[in-house]
Amino acid sequence: VMLLESGGGLVQPGGSLRLSCEASGFTFRSYSMTWVRQAPGKGLEWVANIRYDGNEIYYVDSVKGRFTISRDNARDSLYLQMHSLRAEDTALYFCAREDVDMVTSERVIDYWGQGTLVLVSS
């Protein structure tokens, strides 16, 4: 399993950025995917999730209306479109795979990419 994020960089407050995650080593279209972020020196924050078929999408309240998660199963790719960026969005953004936990039947994050850094600053 490999997850390779890209698209991070320096952006001014109010700006936009699109993150990508290229998946390999597994059947991408069969897995739900999640974006998790980590501000410098801080803990992990769950950001957004998309079901394997794209038909269910969820966001943390702080990004609702500004971020859009999407996927292209033909390209084995996950995306995060970010608008109206704020200083508090500065973080390392991880792409993560979810798999079904056979004990609880819920989906748990089992693999992570290395992350792509987003810096929002003027």
Partner 1 sequence: EIVMTQSPATLSVSPGERATLSCRASQSVSSSLAWYQQKPGQPPRLLIYAASTRAAGVPGRFSGSGSGTHFTLTISSLQSEDFAVYYCYQYNQRPPHTFGQGTEVEIK
Give residues in contact with partner 1 (CB under 8 A): 34, 36, 43-46, 49, 58-61, 94, 101, 103-104, 106-115
Q: How far is the CB of 49 from partner 1 (least distance, A)?
A: 5
Q: How far is the CB of 84 from partner 1 (least distance, A)?
A: 20
In terms of CB distance, is 88 or 110 closer to partner 1?
110
| Cβ(21)–Cβ(33) below 8 Å | yes
Residue 3 neighbours by CB under 8 Å, 6+ apart: 21, 22, 23, 95, 96, 97, 111, 112, 113
Q: How far is the CB of 54 from partner 1 (least distance, A)?
A: 15
- Integer Cα distance of 87 and 49 in angstroms: 22
